[in-house]
């Protein structure tokens, strides 16, 4: 029995060895057949490559037919006419006359290549009024070899374009000196930069204004002297608003005909309010009075409605004030005062956030007014410390 088991194992092992030997021989034979096929193909390719009817499809790239001069010239002009950049060439040796003017320049300036070839920037100005400036840039490029610059230009059609330009001096094989001028229209990028800068500036001004409100509230909680509080609020908002001057008046008559000066803040190189304007007559400003009383809105003082001999108008002119804003200070639904801001230059204060902040200053002043002059526990203080 044991003998039969050994014989069976030997037979099975022999069959396995025979199977793998046969498979290996088949693999060897296939590899040799493939080797012979590769040798035959190589000999065939060598034979074809040496014949006269050699096909272009099997020519290495280094041996392909190059473009003829006319084809290269055609390709060059196709590229020039389709590239999204303005490209021009000037002949330095012949008064900087134009030798090349691509299609993008035609589109942007409205001048064709036929109109510009052989002309100087003075004979035909693609960008009116900039002929001398462009010639100076050309001279600088000759001295330095290459320059980069950005210029805002107005075309003959009246369109404004911001160009980013590279000028470089090149020479032909024949020794001809040329200026290669490559321009890119970056007007959209400049608009985006301007818009982003304005947005950042507005956000910063908004932060500054709300910081002013916070500072004033903090000061009010720690200070008890009402005049110091009024002065602090006026100063803080005058600085934040980039005003020339900020000032506070309280109404002294029941018919709102007059207002009495309380305090002011003056910016750099600014004269204080003269004694002649310490009492303000609203009778001379009917439009402003109407807006303050009825609409309860910030109003711009219209100096045109003031008499030429008016002290206020003379003062506005002498101080070179561009415009004056008055914000109403309201208490118990009544006009009790105004806070004013003078500006020497026109600026965009008529935006919602700016008006809200100016109104915020008026509300703070109204709160201080009510706290110190109309609360029951401070009525005695009202009779003894009226602002002056």
| pLDDT given for residue 88 in this prediction | 93
| pLDDT given for residue 63 in this prediction | 56
| pLDDT given for residue 17 in this prediction | 44
Instruction: For the chain, give the percent of residues with pLDDT over 70.
Output: 76
| pLDDT given for residue 213 in this prediction | 86
Mean of the pLDDT values across residues 142-153?
A: 92
State which of 50-64, 252-266, 366-380 shows the largest mean pLDDT: 252-266
| pLDDT given for residue 168 in this prediction | 94
Read off the pLDDT of residues 273-317 as tens digits, 9 standing for 90 and up: 889 889 888 777 777 777 787 777 888 877 677 777 778 888 888
Distances (CA, A) of 286 to 261, 302, 306, 360: 19, 10, 9, 25
| pLDDT given for residue 351 in this prediction | 56
Least confident of 124-138, 261-275, 281-295, 319-333: 281-295
Please tell me the distance from the alpha carbon of residue 147 to that of residue 168, in angstroms, as a whole number: 7
Please tell me the distance from the alpha carbon of residue 276 to that of residue 279, in angstroms, as a whole number: 7
| pLDDT given for residue 320 in this prediction | 85
Q: With 70 as the cut, is the pLDDT of residue 227 above it?
A: yes
Domains of the chain: 69-185 (3.30.450.20), 216-384 (3.30.450.40)
Contact assessment for residue 305 and residue 285, using Cβ atoms and an 8 Å cutoff: yes
Please tell me the distance from the alpha carbon of residue 70 to that of residue 10, in angstroms, as a whole number: 83
| pLDDT given for residue 170 in this prediction | 94
Contacts of 58 by beta carbon, 8 Å cutoff, 6+ apart: 45, 48, 49
Mean of the pLDDT values across residues 244-272?
A: 87
Contact assessment for residue 211 and residue 205, using Cβ atoms and an 8 Å cutoff: no
- The pLDDT confidence band at residue 12, using thresholds 50, 70 and 90, is low
Mean of the pLDDT values across residues 156-185?
A: 90
| pLDDT given for residue 48 in this prediction | 45
| pLDDT given for residue 54 in this prediction | 42
- SS3 readout for 263-305: EEEECCCCCCCCHHHCEEEHHHCHHHHHHHHHHCCCEECCHHH
- For residue 339, the surrounding DSSP H or E stretch is strand 334-343
| pLDDT given for residue 347 in this prediction | 56
| pLDDT given for residue 18 in this prediction | 47
Q: With 80 as the cut, is the pLDDT of residue 102 above it?
A: yes
Please tell me the distance from the alpha carbon of residue 109 to that of residue 158, in angstroms, as a whole number: 9
3-state secondary structure of 70: helix
Instruction: For the chain, give the percent of residues with pLDDT over 90.
Output: 28
Residue 288: φ, ψ to 5°: -65, -40
| pLDDT given for residue 119 in this prediction | 93
Q: With 60 as the cut, is the pLDDT of residue 134 above it?
A: yes
Mean of the pLDDT values across residues 109-128?
A: 90
Q: With 50 as the cut, is the pLDDT of residue 322 above it?
A: yes
Q: With 90 as the cut, is the pLDDT of residue 142 above it?
A: yes
């Amino acid at each position: 029995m044991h003998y039969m088991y050994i014989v069976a194992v030997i037979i099975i092992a022999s069959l396995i060895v025979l199977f793998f030997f046969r498979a290996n021989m088949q693999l060897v034979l296939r590899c040799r057949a493939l080797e012979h096929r590769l040798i035959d193909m190589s000999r065939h390719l060598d034979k074809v490559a040496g014949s006269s009817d050699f096909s272009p499809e099997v020519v290495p790239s280094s041996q392909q037919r190059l473009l003829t001069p006319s084809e290269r010239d055609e390709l060059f002009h196709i590229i020039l006419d389709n590239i999204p950049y303005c490209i021009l060439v000037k002949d330095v040796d012949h008064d900087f006359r134009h030798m090349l003017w691509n299609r993008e320049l035609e589109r942007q300036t409205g001048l064709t290549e036929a109109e510009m070839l052989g002309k100087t920037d003075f004979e035909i100005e693609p960008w009116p009024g900039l002929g001398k400036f462009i010639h100076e840039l050309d001279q600088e490029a000759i001295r330095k070899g290459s320059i980069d610059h950005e210029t805002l230009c107005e075309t003959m059609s009246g369109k404004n374009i911001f160009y980013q330009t590279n000028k470089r001096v090149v020479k032909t094989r024949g020794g001809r000196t040329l200026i290669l001028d490559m321009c890119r229209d970056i007007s959209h990028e400049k608009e985006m930069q301007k818009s982003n800068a304005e947005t950042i500036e507005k956000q910063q001004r908004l932060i500054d204004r709300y910081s002013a409100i916070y500072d004033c509230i903090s000061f009010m909680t720690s200070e008890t002297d009402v005049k110091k509080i009024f002065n602090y609020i006026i100063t803080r908002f005058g600085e934040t608003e980039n005003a020339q001057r900020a000032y506070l008046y309280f109404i002294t008559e029941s018919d709102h005909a007059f207002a009495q000066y309380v305090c002011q803040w003056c910016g750099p190189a600014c004269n204080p309010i003269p004694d002649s304007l310490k009492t303000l007559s609203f009778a001379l400003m009917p439009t402003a009075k109407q807006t303050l009383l009825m609409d309860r809105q910030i109003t711009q003082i219209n100096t045109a409605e003031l008499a030429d001999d008016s002290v206020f108008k003379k003062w506005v002119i002498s101080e070179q004030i561009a415009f004056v804003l008055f914000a109403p200070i309201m208490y118990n639904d009544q006009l009790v005062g105004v806070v004013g801001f003078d500006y020497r230059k026109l600026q965009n204060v008529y935006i919602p956030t700016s008006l809200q902040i100016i109104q915020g200053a008026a509300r703070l002043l109204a709160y201080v007014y009510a706290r110190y002059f109309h609360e029951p526990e401070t009525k005695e203080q009202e009779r003894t410390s009226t602002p002056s």
